[in-house]
Protein backbone atom coordinates (compact mmCIF):
# COMPACT_ATOMS: atom_id res chain seq x y z
CA UNK A 1 0.00 0.00 0.00
CA UNK A 2 1.23 3.46 -0.76
CA UNK A 3 2.17 5.78 2.01
CA UNK A 4 -0.76 6.79 4.17
CA UNK A 5 -1.41 10.44 4.61
CA UNK A 6 -0.50 11.87 7.98
CA UNK A 7 -4.15 12.20 8.57
CA UNK A 8 -4.80 8.55 7.86
CA UNK A 9 -1.93 7.55 10.10
CA UNK A 10 -3.22 9.67 12.91
CA UNK A 11 -6.69 8.35 12.49
CA UNK A 12 -5.38 4.81 12.66
CA UNK A 13 -3.33 5.62 15.73
CA UNK A 14 -6.31 7.27 17.31
CA UNK A 15 -8.38 4.22 16.67
CA UNK A 16 -5.86 1.98 18.36
CA UNK A 17 -5.44 4.41 21.22
CA UNK A 18 -9.16 4.65 21.68
CA UNK A 19 -9.53 0.89 21.88
CA UNK A 20 -6.53 0.47 24.09
CA UNK A 21 -7.86 3.20 26.33
CA UNK A 22 -11.04 1.25 26.84
CA UNK A 23 -9.24 -1.95 27.68
CA UNK A 24 -6.71 -0.31 29.95
CA UNK A 25 -9.48 1.50 31.80
CA UNK A 26 -11.27 -1.73 32.36
CA UNK A 27 -8.44 -4.11 33.16
CA UNK A 28 -5.50 -1.99 34.09
CA UNK A 29 -2.10 -1.98 32.50
CA UNK A 30 -0.68 -5.32 33.57
CA UNK A 31 -3.82 -7.29 33.00
CA UNK A 32 -4.33 -5.95 29.54
CA UNK A 33 -2.61 -8.04 26.91
CA UNK A 34 -1.73 -6.97 23.44
CA UNK A 35 -4.21 -9.57 22.29
CA UNK A 36 -6.93 -7.69 24.11
CA UNK A 37 -6.03 -4.61 22.14
CA UNK A 38 -5.78 -6.60 18.94
CA UNK A 39 -9.24 -8.02 19.42
CA UNK A 40 -10.81 -4.75 20.48
CA UNK A 41 -9.23 -2.76 17.68
CA UNK A 42 -9.42 -5.32 14.92
CA UNK A 43 -5.86 -4.39 14.00
CA UNK A 44 -3.39 -7.23 13.69
CA UNK A 45 -0.56 -7.84 16.11
CA UNK A 46 2.08 -6.59 13.75
CA UNK A 47 -0.11 -3.73 12.65
CA UNK A 48 -0.19 -2.26 16.11
CA UNK A 49 3.56 -2.42 16.31
CA UNK A 50 3.70 -0.33 13.16
CA UNK A 51 2.28 2.53 15.17
CA UNK A 52 3.62 1.94 18.65
CA UNK A 53 6.79 0.28 19.66
CA UNK A 54 5.52 -1.27 22.86
CA UNK A 55 2.54 -1.75 25.07
CA UNK A 56 4.01 0.81 27.42
CA UNK A 57 4.22 3.37 24.66
CA UNK A 58 0.54 2.98 23.93
CA UNK A 59 -0.25 3.43 27.58
CA UNK A 60 1.90 6.53 27.81
CA UNK A 61 0.49 8.10 24.69
CA UNK A 62 -2.98 7.68 26.06
CA UNK A 63 -1.88 9.34 29.27
CA UNK A 64 -0.31 12.14 27.31
CA UNK A 65 -3.52 13.00 25.52
CA UNK A 66 -6.03 12.34 28.32
CA UNK A 67 -4.17 14.11 31.07
CA UNK A 68 -3.57 17.08 28.87
CA UNK A 69 -7.23 17.50 28.18
CA UNK A 70 -8.01 17.73 31.85
CA UNK A 71 -5.45 20.43 32.34
CA UNK A 72 -6.68 22.48 29.44
CA UNK A 73 -10.05 22.76 31.11
CA UNK A 74 -8.44 25.21 33.44
CA UNK A 75 -6.91 27.35 30.81
CA UNK A 76 -10.19 28.90 29.86
CA UNK A 77 -11.21 31.16 32.65
CA UNK A 78 -13.82 33.71 31.70
CA UNK A 79 -12.31 37.05 32.53
CA UNK A 80 -15.48 38.74 33.61
CA UNK A 81 -17.07 36.39 36.09
CA UNK A 82 -15.68 36.00 39.59
CA UNK A 83 -13.02 33.44 40.27
CA UNK A 84 -15.13 31.95 43.02
CA UNK A 85 -17.90 31.40 40.55
CA UNK A 86 -15.57 29.85 38.09
CA UNK A 87 -14.04 27.49 40.62
CA UNK A 88 -17.37 26.41 41.96
CA UNK A 89 -18.50 25.62 38.48
CA UNK A 90 -15.31 23.91 37.61
CA UNK A 91 -15.25 21.66 40.65
CA UNK A 92 -18.86 20.79 40.21
CA UNK A 93 -18.41 20.07 36.54
CA UNK A 94 -15.46 17.80 37.18
CA UNK A 95 -17.42 15.75 39.67
CA UNK A 96 -20.63 15.57 37.72
CA UNK A 97 -18.75 14.71 34.56
CA UNK A 98 -18.36 11.23 36.00
CA UNK A 99 -21.96 10.56 35.18
CA UNK A 100 -20.76 10.21 31.66
CA UNK A 101 -19.38 6.71 31.11
CA UNK A 102 -16.58 8.15 29.03
CA UNK A 103 -15.33 10.43 31.77
CA UNK A 104 -15.64 7.63 34.24
CA UNK A 105 -13.29 5.62 32.07
CA UNK A 106 -10.89 8.51 31.88
CA UNK A 107 -10.89 8.71 35.65
CA UNK A 108 -10.22 5.00 35.91
CA UNK A 109 -7.44 5.25 33.40
CA UNK A 110 -5.96 8.13 35.28
CA UNK A 111 -5.79 6.22 38.53
CA UNK A 112 -4.35 3.21 36.77
CA UNK A 113 -1.81 5.53 35.23
CA UNK A 114 -0.64 6.80 38.58
CA UNK A 115 -0.53 3.33 40.06
CA UNK A 116 1.59 2.11 37.16
CA UNK A 117 3.79 5.10 37.02
CA UNK A 118 4.42 5.17 40.73
CA UNK A 119 6.40 1.93 40.41
CA UNK A 120 8.73 3.23 37.79
CA UNK A 121 11.21 5.87 38.86
CA UNK A 122 11.82 7.26 35.40
CA UNK A 123 8.20 7.61 34.43
CA UNK A 124 7.36 8.88 37.85
CA UNK A 125 9.44 11.95 37.36
CA UNK A 126 7.60 12.84 34.18
CA UNK A 127 4.27 12.29 35.87
CA UNK A 128 5.24 14.40 38.84
CA UNK A 129 6.18 17.30 36.65
CA UNK A 130 2.86 17.02 34.87
CA UNK A 131 1.17 17.18 38.26
CA UNK A 132 3.24 20.18 39.21
CA UNK A 133 2.07 22.06 36.18
CA UNK A 134 -1.48 21.29 37.06
CA UNK A 135 -0.85 22.40 40.61
CA UNK A 136 0.76 25.67 39.61
CA UNK A 137 -2.02 26.41 37.16
CA UNK A 138 -4.41 26.10 40.05
CA UNK A 139 -2.30 28.28 42.30
CA UNK A 140 -2.19 30.94 39.63
CA UNK A 141 -5.95 31.00 39.51
CA UNK A 142 -6.24 31.10 43.26
CA UNK A 143 -3.84 34.03 43.37
CA UNK A 144 -5.86 35.83 40.79
CA UNK A 145 -8.93 35.21 42.88
CA UNK A 146 -7.28 36.62 45.98
CA UNK A 147 -6.09 39.66 44.09
CA UNK A 148 -9.55 40.31 42.70
CA UNK A 149 -11.02 39.92 46.14
CA UNK A 150 -13.02 36.87 45.11
CA UNK A 151 -11.15 34.60 47.49
CA UNK A 152 -9.94 34.98 51.03
CA UNK A 153 -6.64 36.71 51.50
CA UNK A 154 -5.80 34.40 54.37
CA UNK A 155 -5.19 31.37 52.19
CA UNK A 156 -2.02 29.33 52.35
CA UNK A 157 -2.10 28.82 48.61
CA UNK A 158 0.49 26.13 48.10
CA UNK A 159 -0.97 23.84 50.66
CA UNK A 160 -4.51 24.57 49.63
CA UNK A 161 -3.54 23.60 46.11
CA UNK A 162 -2.65 20.19 47.42
CA UNK A 163 -5.85 19.93 49.43
CA UNK A 164 -7.99 20.85 46.47
CA UNK A 165 -6.40 18.49 44.00
CA UNK A 166 -6.17 15.66 46.49
CA UNK A 167 -9.72 15.85 47.75
CA UNK A 168 -11.12 16.30 44.27
CA UNK A 169 -9.23 13.19 43.22
CA UNK A 170 -10.53 11.42 46.28
CA UNK A 171 -14.12 12.24 45.42
CA UNK A 172 -13.60 10.84 41.95
CA UNK A 173 -11.56 7.88 43.06
CA UNK A 174 -14.17 6.70 45.49
CA UNK A 175 -16.80 6.78 42.80
CA UNK A 176 -14.78 5.57 39.85
CA UNK A 177 -12.58 2.93 41.41
CA UNK A 178 -14.25 1.93 44.59
CA UNK A 179 -17.57 1.95 42.87
CA UNK A 180 -19.31 3.81 45.67
CA UNK A 181 -22.06 5.96 44.29
CA UNK A 182 -21.41 9.68 44.50
CA UNK A 183 -24.69 11.59 44.68
CA UNK A 184 -25.26 15.09 43.46
CA UNK A 185 -25.68 16.08 47.07
CA UNK A 186 -22.28 14.66 47.96
CA UNK A 187 -20.76 16.65 45.17
CA UNK A 188 -22.57 19.79 46.26
CA UNK A 189 -21.60 19.38 49.90
CA UNK A 190 -18.02 18.89 48.89
CA UNK A 191 -17.91 21.94 46.69
CA UNK A 192 -19.65 24.02 49.33
CA UNK A 193 -17.13 22.95 51.89
CA UNK A 194 -14.26 23.76 49.62
CA UNK A 195 -15.60 27.12 48.55
CA UNK A 196 -16.37 28.13 52.13
CA UNK A 197 -12.75 27.57 52.89
CA UNK A 198 -11.56 29.40 49.81
CA UNK A 199 -13.90 32.32 50.25
CA UNK A 200 -13.05 32.55 53.93
CA UNK A 201 -16.61 32.09 55.09
CA UNK A 202 -15.64 30.16 58.19
Q: Which residues bind DNA (CB under 7 A)?
A: 1-4, 9, 12, 32-35, 43-47, 49-51, 53-56
Q: Pick the stretch among 5-13, 14-22, 53-61, 160-168 that binds a copy of itself (CB under 8 A).
A: 160-168
What, of a copy of itself, DNA, none, does residue 174 touch, CB below 5 to 8 Å by kind?
A: a copy of itself
Subset of 26-45 contacting a copy of itself (CB under 8 A): 26-28, 30-31
Smallest separation, CB 111 to DNA (Å): 19
- Give me the least distance between CB of 39 and DNA, in Å please: 10
In the complex with a copy of itself, the residue whose CB is nearer, 73 or 193, is 193
Residue with smaller CB distance to DNA, 46 or 179 = 46
- State the angle between helix axes of 6-27 and 55-75 in degrees (0 to 180), rounded to the nearest 10: 90
**153 Cβ neighbours under 8 A, 6+ residues apart:** 146, 200
Side-chain half-sphere of 99: how many Cα atoms within 13 Å? 8
47 binds, among DNA, a copy of itself, none (CB under 5 to 8 A by kind): DNA
Which of a copy of itself, DNA, none does 45 bind, CB closer than 5 to 8 A by kind? DNA
Q: Site residues (CB under 8 A) for a copy of itself?
A: 26-28, 30-31, 108, 111-112, 114-115, 118-119, 124, 127-128, 131, 135, 156, 159-160, 162-163, 165-171, 173-175, 177-180, 182-183, 185-186, 189-190, 192-194, 196-197, 201-202
Amino acid sequence: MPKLTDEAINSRKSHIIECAFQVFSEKGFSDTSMDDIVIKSGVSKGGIYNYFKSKEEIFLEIAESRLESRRSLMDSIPVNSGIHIFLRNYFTAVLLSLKDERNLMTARFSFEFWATVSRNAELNEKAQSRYSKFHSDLIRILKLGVKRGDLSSQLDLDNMGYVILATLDGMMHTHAIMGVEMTDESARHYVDMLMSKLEGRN
